[in-house]
Chains A and B, each alone.
Chain A
Amino acid sequence: MVVGVDDAYLVAAARRGDLDAFEVLVRRHEASVFRLALRMTASPADAEEAAQDAFVQAWRSLHLYRGDATFRTWLARIVTNRCLDLVAARRPASELPETLEDTRADLAAHAEGRERLRALTRAILALPPDARAALVLREFQGLSYAEGAEILGVSLPAVKGRIHRARLDLAAMMGGWR
């Protein structure tokens, strides 16, 4: 029944204060927002908090949304920043629970299947947050480099550099160079 009504129409209504229109937007985008938050925080509880905060903030700042980015990209920027704040507050870099060497040893112990993927998820969490954000937007949200640059508020070369860096680090953590 919501078929055929695009985001712009709903955003315009929500901006006039229509909560039902906003709820349609929440339901339409919750999967992508929650997924991004989960990949950024690797904790369902933190992801829920960040995703909720992002939607509440989106509601409050709808008047600032100018429609030059898609609503999805605009939301992704809000939730990414919220996750970066949350991660910074939760885990000072010096208190990462496991060292990269542990991650690699872990991987050797469980070389197959889901354990490998779990190890990769942990390795992603061990990346510096801004590199992780760039990587997650590109590899897991399927956004373009240009969208990633817009969301992170950095230049296109900077976002490419971060992703490249993240891949190098992941490769080192997951397999090492021979």
Chain B
Amino acid sequence: MAVNGDVAALPCGTRPQTLVTQVFEAEPPPAARLAHQATCPHCQASLASLRALRHDAEAVAAEPVAVPPDFARRVMARVRGATSGIRVSTEPLGSTTVNEELVARMARLAAMEVPYVTFALAEVDATQPVDGLTFSVRIVVAYNVGLREVAAAVRERVGREVRRTAGLPVARVDVLVEELSG
């Protein structure tokens, strides 16, 4: 057993390092070594166990690894921890505040439902919530469709969905067409 030390040569004088390289790096051995290995029981046994190890390592590498359920949700909850909220209503019995990122997400999901929008990202500016929120929506649009019509549909849909779900007024929805997708 040699961890962190030199590995002793095999009884036939072959260095194990040579065999490891031969098996794992798939280096064809020179003719003289090949001839030696053809008759040497030490080399043959070591090569067989190295090939078995390589085979097992490939099997471990190929084993499926399941990501724990809701992993991304837990990550995002930690990432989101410090972001600010938007006051949706103040009632006698308490207020309701929605995480700013969730409001931005509503806008994003609404934009993604518009035909020909293949991807969307949204940011919300909540500095003047009384007048209404200002959204900035970046979209990727399918090639060869009218961009103004798509942008107008995004503006309409984002405004409607944010008003409907969060009950918040929407002042502006600025749409930036950022990419065309095939």
* A interface list, Cβ under 8 A from B: 1-5, 9, 13, 16-23, 26-27, 30-31, 34-35, 38, 44, 48, 51-52, 55-56, 59, 100-101, 116-117, 120-121, 124, 126-128, 139-140, 142, 164, 167-178
Contact = CB atoms under 8 A, between A and B. Distances in A.
B16 A168 contact: yes
Interface in B56-71: 56-57, 59-61, 63, 65, 67-68, 71
B78 A17 contact: no
Interface in B127-182: 138, 140, 179, 181-182
Contacts of A20: 101, 104-105, 108, 121-122
Nearest to A5: B119
B98 interface: no
8 contacts: A4-B181, A20-B108, A23-B76, A35-B65, A120-B56, A120-B60, A126-B3, A178-B10
B158 to A, nearest CB: 14
Interface size class of B (residues with CB under 8 A): 35 or more
B38 to A, nearest CB: 17
Contact of B1 (A13, A48, A100): A100
B56 A172 contact: no
Interface of B: 1-4, 7-8, 10, 16-17, 20-21, 24, 41-42, 45-46, 49-50, 52-53, 56-57, 59-61, 63, 65, 67-68, 71-72, 74-76, 78-80, 83, 101, 104-105, 108, 112, 118-119, 121-123, 138, 140, 179, 181-182
B118 A4 contact: yes
A170 B65 contact: no
A100 B2 CA distance: 10
A39 to B, nearest CB: 8
A22 B72 CA distance: 10
Contacts of B75: 26, 30, 51-52, 55-56
